[in-house]
Amino acid sequence: MKGLHIIAFILVIIGALNWGLVGAFDYNLVDSLLGMGGVSTTIYVLVGLAALYELFTHPKNCRLCKPSM
């Protein structure tokens, strides 16, 4: 599960950086690198699924979010 967590975290970071670039500079890095089409759509879906995964599993995976014993 640690590997899935790392992949999900990286995808969430990629998505957040892309949104930051779109908001600040109107520049979509994913579309620029992969073109508009099936590959970039797949990346967007994976980023969304990764965000959902992190949303529901983060408290279990994060050392700072676990209650101290």
Q: How far is CA 44 from CA 18, 19, 27, 61, 66, in A?
A: 10, 11, 15, 23, 30
The answer as to whether 69 is a domain residue is no
Q: Is residue 48 part of a domain?
A: yes
* pLDDT top residue among 1 and 33: 33
In the block, residue with structure tokens 């014993």: 69
**pTM of the model as a whole:** 0.81
What would the pLDDT profile of 16-63 be if each residue is shown by its tens digit? 999 999 999 999 999 999 988 889 999 999 999 999 999 999 888 777
What are 22's two structure tokens?
């779109």
Cα–Cα dist 40/37, whole Å: 6
**66 in a structural domain:** no
Whether 6 is in a domain gets the answer: yes
d(CA 13, CA 7): 10
Task: State the total domains in the chain.
Answer: 1
- The answer to the question of residue 53 being in a domain is yes
- The position carrying tokens 């967007």 is 44
Q: For residue 12, what are the domain limits?
A: 2-61
Instruction: Indicate whether 24 belongs to any domain.
Output: yes
Q: Decide if 67 is inside a domain.
A: no
